[in-house]
Amino acid sequence: MNNKTNSRVLELTIISAESLSRAGNSRIKKNTYVVINPESSNDHTASFATAIDTENGSYPFWNQKFHVDMPMHASFFTLEVRCKNSSGDHAVGSVRVPVSDFTSWYFPRNYLHFLSYRLKDRDGGRNGVINLSVKVKSPENVVGDGGSKAYLLPAKGWEYGGASMGQGGSNGTVIGVPCGY
């Protein structure tokens, strides 16, 4: 089970990618997928992968949701777009997604972030864009053992980087939280 002080659960949806190409700038025709690697995983046993998109070529669409346990100390996770073809399995592009992009400010509990990132190929060149959504799930709303999880309805309150705040008022109002201006 997710330990509130050691990890947080990300509801990560890999939505789509745009303008993907292979070496030599040829467009990808089919068979793309995404591999998700949390920062703390030194091997690929903690990796997740989307289904293979066989129809949309350089503009693949997955819309696939994952629940990823991320250690609280993790500062990023990696997304790698890959393509399978007759000559093998090839990396198309990757990006390191900073956790601070969706945990650095005060957000309502279970706030849904829609994000897009530029993919880089193995030589550091631009190779398309990946679109995703991320929601930091409240640890107290996760039930079950390590193998399967169910999510309860969110309680009132706010979160800062996955830590609960403002739990005490019956209306869920946070008072005295500094805001940027």
User: What are the pLDDT tens digits along the chain (181 aa)?
Assistant: 444 558 888 999 999 999 998 766 678 889 999 999 987 555 555 789 999 999 999 999 999 999 998 888 889 999 999 999 888 899 999 999 999 898 877 777 788 999 999 999 988 989 999 999 999 886 554 444 443 343 333 444 444 444 444 444 444 444 444 555 4
* Amino acid 108: pLDDT: 76
Q: Do 20 and 58 meet the contact criterion of CB atoms below 8 Å apart? A: yes
Give the pLDDT confidence score for residue 112 in this predicted structure.
93
Say what the pLDDT of residue 94 is: 96
Contact 52, 31 (CB under 8 A): yes
pLDDT at 95: 96
CB atoms within 10 A of CB 104: 11
The neighbouring-strand residues paired with 173 are none
Single pTM value for the model: 0.72
C-alpha 22/C-alpha 127 separation (Å) is 8
pLDDT of residue 40: 57
Main-chain dihedrals φ then ψ at residue 140, nearest 5 degrees? -75, -10
